[in-house]
Amino acid sequence: MFRLNRKKEQKLEKKIWEDFSRGKLETQEAISSLQKIILKEKGNTETDFDLETILAELESLVGLQKVKEVIKEIQAYINIQKQRSLLGLQTNFLSLHMIFKGNPGTGKTTVARLLGKLFFSLGILPKGDLIEAERADLVGEYIGHTAQKTKRIIQKAQGGVLFVDEAYSLARGGEKDFGKEAIDTLVKAMEDYRDQFILIFAGYRREMERFLLLNPGLDSRFPIKIDFPDYSIPDLLAIAELMVRQREYELTAGAKYYLEKYLKDKARQHYLHFSNARLVRNIIEKALRRQALRLMSVKEPCREELMRITKDDLIAVREDDLLSLAEEGSYYV
């Protein structure tokens, strides 16, 4: 488990322990008081990093039930260790470095951002910011350059979460590739700054498993591994409806039926690298543009017409070959 700056932590623990010992605070009140002091010192509002708000945001995510269960386990473990500490019992600290495995659009980045907030609210991280990086941000072009670039990213991530997407790309060039230097620098930082940041390696499931297999020393350094499954078709439809509702649009019954068929076809053809919610977002955004183009021929569209996304709008999206915009390639009809 990661800890706050030790001097500040000792002062906070002393104050909370004294109040708790004198009977001024119940166990949960003591934990809550510690969290509020941390929030105040960091200049963050309780609304931004309020534990209940963060957990509610996590729960509001469509699907991801297994992911939510793992996160709740981690949160519960941290809280229990705090209660044990307040009662003078031995505490067992966790390493919170993680592996996220799953296709694009399955919520990996969103969950990583929520974890940063969660760990800050629990007093595990000093800040809780999410810093995203990929191979180009870490790997240099000559000897020594990679270590410099990687160290800069690590420094930027101090106090928060460093999220390295497609982490296996760091090892794609073999032994002589500079990516290996980036991996070595990150591994060293995991030990040197173990109390100051959390490292998350993320990417496609198969590629991540192969990456860990070819780099056996890495596997044990990431004790928490979370699988992000592809969304079911009902979940993707729920995400689509949420997206249009947030924009004050609505899908007609015909549009919903056509979108369901559209997504099923796509899932069958690209099941290995299905882009999930990212695909849905692309479809919806294109449909909004097609609706706007359609309404240009209407002299004075009413409120309902301005809100309505029809089956024809989605047919136009398919005909325009939207899927060429998705990362995994073109869609063939």
How far apart are alpha carbons 333 and 315 in whole angstroms? 12
> What pLDDT does residue 204 have?
92
Name every residue whose Cβ is closer than 8 Å to that of residue 136 and which is 6 or more positions away in sequence: none
Model confidence, pTM: 0.77
DSSP string, 267-322: HHHTSTT--HHHHHHHHHHHHHHHHHHHHTTSSS--HHHHHEE-HHHHHHHHHTTG
Nearest to 124 by CA among 207, 203, 194, 179: 194
Q: What is the reported pLDDT for 309?
A: 96
Continuous segment of H or E residues that includes residue 11 = helix 6-21
pLDDT confidence of residue 127: 87
The CA-based angle 218-222-226, given to 5 degrees, is: 125
Q: What is the 3-state secondary structure (H, E, C) of 230-264?
A: CCCHHHHHHHHHHHHHHCCCEECHHHHHHHHHHHH
Domains of the chain: 6-228 (3.40.50.300), 233-325 (1.10.8.60)
- State how far the Cα of 255 lies from the Cα of 316, in Å rounded to an integer: 12
Q: How far apart are CA 145 and CA 147, in angstroms?
A: 6
d(CA 179, CA 33): 44
Name the CA radius of gyration of the chain, rounded: 23
CA 126, 165, 209: angle at the middle one, nearest 5?
Answer: 110
Q: Which tokens belong to 12?
A: 């906070």
What is the chain's pLDDT, residue by residue, as a tens digit (333 residues)?
A: 444 454 555 566 566 556 555 555 554 444 555 555 555 454 454 445 688 888 888 888 888 898 999 999 998 998 898 888 888 898 887 889 999 999 988 999 999 999 999 999 888 888 889 999 999 999 988 777 899 999 999 999 999 999 999 999 988 766 667 888 899 999 999 988 887 899 999 999 999 999 998 887 888 899 999 999 999 999 999 999 999 999 999 999 999 999 999 999 888 876 656 788 888 999 999 999 999 999 999 889 999 999 999 999 999 888 765 445 444 444 332
Does residue 266 contact residue 297 with C-beta atoms inside 8 Å?
Answer: no
Pick the closest to residue 201 from 96, 272, 114 (CA basis).
Answer: 96
H and E: helices and strands count for the chain: 16, 7
pLDDT at 13 (0 to 100) = 57
Predicted local distance difference test score (pLDDT) of residue 213: 87
Provide the pLDDT for residue 312.
93
Q: Are strands 198-203 and 161-165 parallel, antiparallel or unpaired?
A: parallel
Residue 236 has a pLDDT of 94
What is the secondary structure of 105-117 as a DSSP string?
A: TSSHHHHHHHHHH
Q: Give burial (CB, 10 Å; 0-12/13-18/19+) of 53.
A: middle
DSSP 3-state of 31:
helix
